[in-house]
Amino acid sequence: MNRSIYWIMALAAGLVVANNYYNQPLLVDFARTFHATERQTGAVSVAAQLGYALGLLLFVPLGDKLERRALIGTLLGIAAVSLGATALSLSLPWLIAASFVTGLVSVAPQLLTPFAAHLAGPNRRGKAVGIVMFGLLCGILVSRTVSGTVAAHFGWRSVYWIAAAAMILVAAMLWRALPVAEPTFDGSYRALMRSLWTLLRDEPLVRQTSGIAALQFAAFSAFWTTLAFHLHSFDAHYGSEVAGMFGLVGVVGAGASTMAGKWTDAGNPRLVVLVSSLVFVAAYTVFAFAGSTIAGLVVGVILLDLGMQTGHVSNLARNMSVRAGAMSRTNTLYMTIRFGGGALGSAVGNYAWSLWRWPGVCGVGLMFAVASLALQACPEGAGKARMGRERAEPADE
């Protein structure tokens, strides 16, 4: 398979996943527009992540049952409409609801990831996943820079109009680039959803990778949800543009995705995940001791995104090695649990900020990072799957 298709998938994944993160540098702007408190506007980020987690659960399993190109195109069309509704928001509850719907349907990256893994085959799966994840993380990080800069010059509503147009362009690009993918599951939607529980029950590796990913993403989200508030509390009262610029800083760590994929293919995924959790601890240590300075935040962000990307790529590739015919469903379990962790991290981080400000956020982040290390001490179980040794699954399980 031509490698260019993986980079097209990476570009699409980055543009779509960005929908869930445009809001983070804009929370102070939302508070001003709707005369709300910081704690109230923090609900916008939580709603987007909860919507994304639910969309993963409801729609991503369909990647095993329906033709993927058509499914992705439908979801992107709905996303364009919901982003337009976000731009038209007349109240904070409207904005929260529109953000939830946008998150709900912006799950195309999690349909593209198993698609890439399937096209690459077991021997190059980590590399293919790493490329798509590089695009996805760049989208997460650069989205903050784009939204902060555009909002500073043209207003926050312009961000969402641009995003709506981008979804239409992405849908057209993917329709032309992607091959037709035949479904691997012949049963009903009810049987499809029931098989998720079977996979979670029977596969210890899925449970472990998903739990670790949830804790790491909780630590990641606690920082990014509160960064705009923290920067605004500085004497200079930095606004959305400065908060968004930190996304560019994080791209330095995003480059680790392709290397993490290669290390995973080489047979060292558990070590990569262990190191990634240690990097999370290092990042929050820097935030705790030097987070009151821009330089300290820059160093911490680089470490945070380095840990996020390396851990995610290795966990994801391990997870997709479990069952060749159920990649969309194992990805559903992994990403739903992961984004549930992200929503938890956003909510707890926002609450900690409201009570204890920056020291509280650092404490929350360290707590989640240490918990991810503790979970790795648990054995995967006798039924664990190893990279490159896949089990077939009945199509109508």
Structure confidence at residue 256 (pLDDT): 61
| Alpha-carbon dihedral sign for residues 269, 258, 50, 333 | negative
CB atoms < 10 A from the CB of 153, how many?
A: 8
The predicted structure's pLDDT at residue 1? 54
**So what's the pLDDT on residue 246?**
76
* Cα atoms found within 13 Å of the Cα of residue 30, Cβ hemisphere only: 31
**Under 8 Å between Cβ of 323 and 110:** no
For the stretch 301-313, pLDDT in tens is: 889 988 888 888 8
What pLDDT is stored for residue 385 in this prediction? 40
How big is the CA angle at 41 (ends 40 and 45), to the nearest 5 degrees?
Answer: 120
Look at residues 110, 315, 125 and name the one whose alpha carbon lies nearest to residue 213.
Answer: 315
Q: Is 388 left (phi over 0), alpha (psi -120 to 50) or beta?
A: left
Residue ranges of the chain with pLDDT lower than 70? 1-3, 121-123, 125, 240, 243-244, 247, 250-268, 324-325, 379-397
pLDDT score, position 257: 57
Contacts of 304 (CB under 8 A, 6+ apart): 219, 220, 223, 250, 253, 279, 280, 283, 284
Domains in the chain with CATH codes: 4-178+186-376 (1.20.1250.20)
pLDDT digits (tens, 9 = 90+) for 224-273: 889 888 988 887 778 767 766 776 776 666 666 566 666 666 666 788 88
